[in-house]
Amino acid sequence: ESIEYDENHPDFPMSGEHMDNFAKRWVLHSLVWSFAGSASWAERSELSEMLLRTSGMILPGGEGTNLTDYRVRSSDGEYELWSESVPRMEIESHKVTATDVVIATTDTVRHTEVLGSWLSSRKPLILCGPAGSGKSMTTNSVLQDMQGIVLASLNFSSRTTPEIILKTFDQYCSYVRRGKDTVLEPMENLGAQSWLVIFCDEINLPEEDTYGTQRVIMFMRQLVEQGGFWRNDNTWVKIDRIQFVGACNPPTDAGRVNMSQRFLRHAPLLLVDFPATDSLKQIYRTFNGGMMKLFPDLKGETEPLTEAMVELYSEAKEKFKPEAQPQYFYSPRELSRWVRGIYESIVDQDQGLTKEELVRIWAHEGLRLFCDRLVEVEERKWCEEKVDNVARKWFAAVDHDKALARPLFYSTWLSKDTRQVSRDELRDFLAARLRVFYEEQLDVPLVIFDEVLEHILRID
């Protein structure tokens, strides 16, 4: 970092005091991410406190902050909060449903910095974290921003074998002779001196064989450790400018396999946990702001919409655990589905949208996401009441009785776009459609009761 600074500032290189300040702080920064990059936030904080106590360094924010909250500025060698380097973003409404949009938060900026430095070392690395924490999205974002990188993405499964790596080599690489050696390197048409980065998603899914070996993982270990492999014609092939990056769920999840330490000793591991509440609000405030551009008169509802979504998500996640039922697993993907569901419901509203209609659609999509997976009657009742309470808390100047009146039915069956339908309209429509079926197939009339209507709309 200091060498790069001096190269970029030949007229004003680091002075002795500047270098002293920078080096002391950079060592602490490096120690935290070297030894606790794969640990939880609590363990990182514990290590941070120990390093600060041992070194005598005092952070600008005083008590309540730790080393992971700060980066080291190369310009003056002082600490700077990560949050100060997060750019403010706005997106257009059509980007709300895009899956490749990465909203910058304190977490993503911090992880991007760490990943960038590890990738620059040209060693393999692995991101580990629960489903929906943004591992793949963060990694792809970092790789796409780097120069001289060609990305090849692979999805591993329990049946993945080394052949998938060899096929990727055939697609992106060519064999060249250098003296007595055969070298495999990225093709020239991919760019001079470009690196091939093979991104292995779900890297810990491949099953172990009879001898307890994940063959594809051991093949990658050989490529990293020995720098090559034996080809079918018994020729030793060296690899050049090829790097491996992996992402996986924790090995405690179902179907995961503990990867060999013989491979992990070559690959630093970064734990990517779920975004903090502040980060969630920042992400979905951006998405909701883009969505509300469809209706400028409702722009003021962006903040209440975001707060209500994050509060309901947090409450449901806290109350319902996967230990009770396997489907009681909540991740930020629920919030992404919620935003997309609202967007698809309102994008074709040509007659405008009132606050009551917005709240009603918000409640409908929330119930579909959080209530439909619940098993017990008491749990569903709690969820219904929580949706009503959160709506009344955050949405002001709204006729809540009208907006939250049950039943909440939305369907595309009676029109080309999603719109609210009454119970009677829906029952008449289904009765007409089912009449032909039971006359021809069953010869017995079918009775459509209220639970049937609700169930059919859930699976529509």
**pLDDT tens digits along 422-458:** 888 888 888 888 887 777 777 777 788 888 888 887 7
**pLDDT tens digits along 116-157:** 888 888 989 999 999 888 888 888 888 877 888 999 999 999
Task: Evaluate whether 37 touches 57 at the Cβ level (below 8 Å).
Answer: no
Whether residue 301 has pLDDT greater than 80? yes
**pLDDT tens digits along 333-355:** 999 999 999 998 898 887 888 99
Whether residue 13 has pLDDT greater than 80? no
pLDDT of residue 289: 95
Give the residue, 107 or 244, on which the prediction is more confident: 244
Rounded to an integer, the average pLDDT of 279-306 is 94
Whether residue 374 has pLDDT greater than 70? yes
pLDDT > 70: what percent of the chain? 98
The neighbour count for residue 28, using CB atoms within 10 Å, is 19
Plot region of 345 (φ>0 → left; ψ -120 to 50 → alpha; else → beta): alpha
Rounded to an integer, the average pLDDT of 13-29 is 86
Give me the sheet containing 269-271, strands edge to edge. 149-155, 195-201, 242-248, 125-128, 269-271
Whether residue 55 has pLDDT greater than 80? yes
Closest by alpha carbon to 267, among 228, 234, 221?
221
Whether residue 176 has pLDDT greater than 70? yes
pLDDT of residue 460: 67
pLDDT of residue 181: 94
The mean pLDDT value of the chain amounts to: 89
Rounded to an integer, the average pLDDT of 25-52 is 92
Whether residue 419 has pLDDT greater than 90? no
With bands split at pLDDT 50, 70 and 90, how would you rate the model's confidence at 43?
Answer: very high
